[in-house]
Amino acid sequence: MRNLLLAALLALPLPLVAAAPAAYTAQYEVRRNGEPMGSATVTFSAQGGGAYELRTHTVGTGGLAAMAGADIDERSVLGWRNGVPETRRYSYRQKVAWKTKERSLVVDADAGRIDSRDGDKSYSPPYEPGVLDRHAVNIALMQDLAAGASGDRVYRVPQRDQIDTQRYRVAGRESLQTAMGAQPVLRVERIRDSDDGRKTTVWFGSGQRYIPLRMLQTESNGDSVEMRIVSIR
């Protein structure tokens, strides 16, 4: 009986051990409504103590964005709990001409507390394990896709005094023409509750460690912002 039990246990599928994606630096061309607007550098790197930083730095290099000296710096510091990423800190700083916009988020998992600021307003949404800031969702998607995930993915993201659910659907496999040549990708679309015309689509490179190769955000008024991969290292 003991041998039969041992054999049955050995036959069970092993749990998937998820790990943080490998470090990378990616350069993108940024377009607004199809016209070149700037460039973006995205870096993901280990910071020590089990922490990882995702940074997106966007600089205006064309049109009004260049004239206004547009500079956007967005950072997420993440940790992994039982194979699941969780935001520890987040900051966003946008400078355009003489105007500056700032947001921040601090997650204290041990105290079960989240402190958020948007300009001069502060919020305290309830803590949930595995909570992610909106910037870090792509890292969770990269990890899930690399592990073979399909169908719908759900992430919990702080929004003012509450935790919102963000849903994404793995829509299919495609070949994407890029500055690095044709690349196999998985197209992922955000599922929104409202039908106001807003759309978010990300193409993750299945041959490039599932790093995003193209990101397209379309607003309800038809305006769009797009990031297209230039290089990865």
| CATH number for the domain harbouring residue 191 | 2.50.20
Residue 2, in any domain of the structure = no
15 occurs within a structural domain: no
- The domain of 34 spans 20-232
Residue 4 lies in a domain: no
Does residue 14 sit within a domain? no
pLDDT (0 to 100) of residue 231 = 98
For residue 18, name the pLDDT band (cuts at 50, 70, 90). low
Give yes or no for residue 11 having a pLDDT over 60. Answer: no
Residue 9 lies in a domain: no
pLDDT digits (tens, 9 = 90+) for 187-204: 999 999 888 889 999 999
pLDDT digit string, tens, across residues 124-182: 999 999 999 999 999 999 999 999 999 999 999 999 999 999 999 999 999 999 999 99
Within-domain flag for 1: no
DSSP 169-233: EEEEEEEEEETTEEEEEEEEEEE-SS-SS-EEEEEEETTTTT-EEEEEEE-TTS-EEEEEEEEE-
**Structure confidence at residue 68 (pLDDT):** 65
pLDDT bucket at 67, cuts 50 / 70 / 90: low
CB atoms within 10 A of CB 72: 19
Residue 6 lies in a domain: no
d(CA 212, CA 59): 19
Q: What is the pTM of this model?
A: 0.89
Amino acid at 216: L
Sign of the four-CA dihedral 22, 106, 163, 200: negative
Query: Could you tell me if residue 11 is inside a domain?
Result: no
What total number of domains does the chain contain?
A: 1
3-state DSSP assignment of residue 66? helix
